[in-house]
Structure 1
């Protein structure tokens, strides 16, 4: 191989290539060569500035990860990659427009500014101090390099400053706030009469002709969607755990291992906390000397401790186990004997003297009390190792298999069946969108392949294949008659309720029907606790009655109808010094500021020269 390389290096072709390189270097310089290999392709251009493909793809990856984290059960197959790419490109273009605007206004962060911001960010700190290792690790977890993160901060910070400045300029007229608050606090006096569906049910009768007519007019509603009958294998950690046999000896050995954890030790501590300042050593020496002279720890805690809450209790912190206190504090506490006082211990809170007041230990539950819990824990621990192994084997086996029977037999799993799965899904596990999408994919539905092994839940994986496909079909009238009758009955009941309400309404408006026996509400606000929502919405949408008059109206739901007689509208009180008024004014100003910023963004985008692929 090496000799071939040497021979080719002396060939005519090699000499020609070298000659071309020399000519390129002499005419255009090194950048002509290097740039040809390192120039990055762009996905869009904003006012002549490129948005690179690398930046675009990295942002797409980050956005995909963010959307996965927001899912209850993260599933890559549920992501709409095309939509994500469109959203990311739009966002990067908008960011470029805003960044260029910030630069044109002379807003830019120096490297020192960025350093200052980074070191002040809590997510990069340990015990209140900037930690470079945490910073680098956090940035890498975001899929970025340190330089990329700094550049992102440089862009986003100034853009956010402009956004905040514009948003804070939102102004709302005090009268508009007062008017809205008065409407919000408005109350009304009214009376309500109601009739229930059961009161008109006897008036409802649905004929066969009505059923047939509805069926003919709505045939498209009664088309049965395409369906598949599926075979599938479920691999579940829980089922694997149930199949694992745990011996009595293993259970007892596991209990012995865990007994120490069940026998929890808690220690009651008291402390004296002082500031870790220049005088700390002198102050602590004074406290220690006074303790040695016989003064009470509790009295000194009350005098010196800056932890004012515990100081009132003589420094008492109560009982706590491991994992509660700062590591240095905990180590010192659990090294003490009862009644012993520690040497000074420094933590992020200051400098402590710690006294151990009392130790208590809880007795562990008996073996019999923990038997079932121990068996479950031990079986799941063993099953976890087996699950990962079997999952890999199953994924490999079904990839090339012509059916599911072979892989199932090989791995001791069961092939199950599910009928009537539509593109909308079916019973579990076909209530998982990713699995259903694969089941109806071209390869599985028409080419006869198995689906991939899909994780449909925590430690539950499923692979499926199509057993039978059924085309969409028109359902017969006899199949859907009961459904149609239900629809028609509901409509007829609603019509009957509305008609009955109209009769009552007419009687009220003509003065022939008294409202004395109706349910009365005085000074009722919008949060009426014992009123149906549809009634309350009707009450507060009715116009204000004339002086001495009334306004009437009706509201109808599927179960009830109501006639409303509105007697008075009481204007809401407005206290311009109240917190309610202040909060509403701030909220409305923020909305106005955001609207102005959105308009500003749109203006910049309209003025920009944007080239998309």
Structure 2
């Protein structure tokens, strides 16, 4: 049989088939050949078009990585995989609906358009020029092929065209913007009289029967959750670094190596800042033309710069080192020669022209002044490699050991103890959700294993085990009665205060005076804004929620404060200014943007509701 196979493989037909396979592999890859026979599985179909499983899994992976990177302490175990998959599928369906809509409207990008967009993207450039190697590497890091990336760009761009068109079409009536501005700028005149909690505290009495009744009615609130006492080992880069000794010769060599960085350079800059809007390019071109014509940078800063503080001084920003300015601003500033003016530089504040006015460099401090800092830096640098090595050893040793004594002795680490750790956590390092979840897992809690080695911080790792487990239990009344009594006292004081305040309001509305009501004296406030400083926030919230008073009678209300209760008399509402200006323009733009967002959301929902979607 083997001989027959060998002879057939040398035949003409076999050679043709192999040749076709080679050509297919070179052009489309293995997926094209396998897919040609089996078809690519789909996870959903939208109006007859498939969302493939490969695309779905790729986006799931990207979304998982995005959520991990947004965590303060990244922990894969914290990810809800089912929720991620559901969210990703919904987003892909929505994207497919929008893409189909764009296609139906005749919106499309040619291959040349895609090429132009890609070559202009700064993340694919080196020294301002498109770099194919960087482009390919970046796309592969996303888990995509070049063709997939180009298609994703094509879809996203045409969808963005529709989104931008709808969102920019949002309109708001000038009258509505002016009315909202008047309300926002409104001020109010009011009076306040305070009734402190101390004034009614003597009227409050909580009996033992009330305490016991509250305990019986709320027993679930007085249960001690299940707890564990845990032993643990901590491995940290800082602790390793403390054990590393740096001799004087090493310190001197490191000092000389760092001397260039230790001499701090500061640059004195001036700038002209304009808003980054539709007219920014023309405005900046005008400024540059006038500079070239010999006009003073200082005078142009006073005329054009929206940074009014520096504009008064001709745009002068003073001396500053690295790490002070926006990254783009800093990069441009430190690339200038003294007296040179940059081209337009865009930051989050707007568009700048930057002039370098002066450069000064400080002397390198003596080694004695920096000895402690440099020893620490060098020790941490040396500890980095050792940390990775010891971490791997601890992970293996703890996994195989029946306790923590062996790994601790082997690596010279200390065993510590934490008491009363619940499923909600405890003191560090058991404030890390991943470590706590492992501690209460079946393997650790019931089978007596060590936890895995968990990274709980930057170069800090912990392995733990349970020493003692305590089931959840009902706390005895005598253990919690003091807290119950204190809470009931606070509750009763508040009830009495509210009754007292309502009685005062009723008397005032009936025409009685504060003296007759025995309620103290009014404190007067005039022209107070919504965010007025020096007035309790709860009082201000009540003041601006009260109905307008009429000419003869104030509007009354009450507010619970930190110290008691306040009775409020609203005397007048002063209309706010709604004249045209920057604030009104910004408010109008903001309201129009919100309206555009609502319209686009409604448009998306309409497309989604009318689409035919099937999920296998």
Band of TM-score, shorter chain? 0.7 to 0.9
Q: CA deviation at 1:309?
A: 7.1
* Cα deviations by residue, 1:115-142 (Å, 9 ceiling, x for unpaired): 1222233333345443333333332333
Contact 1:232 1:465 (8 Å CA) reproduced = yes
Contact 2:539 2:561 (8 Å CA) reproduced = no
Answer yes or no: is 1:588 the counterpart of 2:591: yes
Contact 2:195 2:564 (8 Å CA) reproduced = yes
Aligned residue in 1 for 2:414: 414
Answer yes or no: is 1:551 the counterpart of 2:555: yes
Q: CA deviation at 1:574?
A: 2.3
Q: CA deviation at 1:38?
A: 5.5
d(CA) in 1 for partners of 2:602, 2:162: 13
Contact 1:40 1:53 (8 Å CA) reproduced = yes
Aligned residue in 1 for 2:566: 562
d(CA) in 1 for partners of 2:168, 2:459: 49
d(CA) in 2 for partners of 1:46, 1:448: 51
Aligned residue in 2 for 1:69: 69
Answer yes or no: is 1:53 the counterpart of 2:53: yes
Query: Which sits farther off after the overlay, 594-603 or 214-223?
Result: 594-603
Contact 2:536 2:561 (8 Å CA) reproduced = no
Aligned residue in 2 for 1:483: 483
Answer yes or no: is 1:542 the counterpart of 2:546: yes
1:528 to 529, 532, 535: 532
Alignment root-mean-square deviation, CA: 3.9
Larger Rg: 1
Alignment of 1:591-602 (within 5 A): 591-602=594-605
* Cα deviations by residue, 1:398-457 (Å, 9 ceiling, x for unpaired): 222222222111111122111111111100000011111222222222232222211111
Contact 1:127 1:348 (8 Å CA) reproduced = no
Q: CA deviation at 1:34?
A: 4.7
Query: Which sits farther off after the overlay, 527-536 or 359-368?
Result: 359-368
* Alpha-carbon distance change, 479 to 322 in structure 1, aligned in 2, over 3 angstroms: closer
Q: CA deviation at 1:375?
A: 2.1
Contact 2:450 2:463 (8 Å CA) reproduced = yes
d(CA) in 2 for partners of 1:306, 1:68: 53
Aligned residue in 2 for 1:493: 493
Query: Which sits farther off after the overlay, 86-95 or 250-259?
Result: 250-259
Alignment of 1:396-545 (within 5 A): 396-514=396-514, 517-545=521-549
Q: CA deviation at 1:365?
A: 2.9
Aligned residue in 2 for 1:238: 238
Aligned residue in 2 for 1:574: 578
d(CA) in 2 for partners of 1:318, 1:48: 63
* Alpha-carbon distance change, 532 to 75 in structure 1, aligned in 2, over 3 angstroms: same
The DSSP-based 3-state class of the residue aligned with 1:245 is coil
* Alpha-carbon distance change, 303 to 85 in structure 1, aligned in 2, over 3 angstroms: closer
Query: Which sits farther off after the overlay, 245-254 or 109-118?
Result: 245-254
d(CA) in 1 for partners of 2:74, 2:551: 61
Question: TM-score when scaled to structure 2?
Answer: 0.78
Q: CA deviation at 1:82?
A: 2.0
* Alpha-carbon distance change, 36 to 144 in structure 1, aligned in 2, over 3 angstroms: closer
Answer yes or no: is 1:157 the counterpart of 2:161: no
Query: Which sits farther off after the overlay, 166-175 or 220-229?
Result: 166-175
d(CA) in 1 for partners of 2:317, 2:513: 73
Question: TM-score when scaled to structure 1?
Answer: 0.79
Contact 1:233 1:464 (8 Å CA) reproduced = yes
Contact 1:448 1:466 (8 Å CA) reproduced = yes
Contact 1:494 1:557 (8 Å CA) reproduced = no
Q: CA deviation at 1:89?
A: 0.9
* Cα deviations by residue, 1:458-484 (Å, 9 ceiling, x for unpaired): 110011122222211111111112221
Structure 2: give runs of 5+ residues left out of the alignment.
9-13, 22-30, 270-290, 302-315, 324-329, 345-356
Q: CA deviation at 1:534?
A: 0.7
The DSSP-based 3-state class of the residue aligned with 2:200 is helix
d(CA) in 2 for partners of 1:253, 1:503: 81
d(CA) in 2 for partners of 1:318, 1:491: 58
Query: Which sits farther off after the overlay, 384-393 or 140-149?
Result: 140-149
Q: CA deviation at 1:77?
A: 2.7
d(CA) in 2 for partners of 1:584, 1:267: 38
Q: CA deviation at 1:90?
A: 0.7
* Alpha-carbon distance change, 171 to 321 in structure 1, aligned in 2, over 3 angstroms: closer
d(CA) in 1 for partners of 2:87, 2:211: 48
Q: CA deviation at 1:489?
A: 1.9
The DSSP-based 3-state class of the residue aligned with 1:144 is coil
* Alpha-carbon distance change, 404 to 147 in structure 1, aligned in 2, over 3 angstroms: same
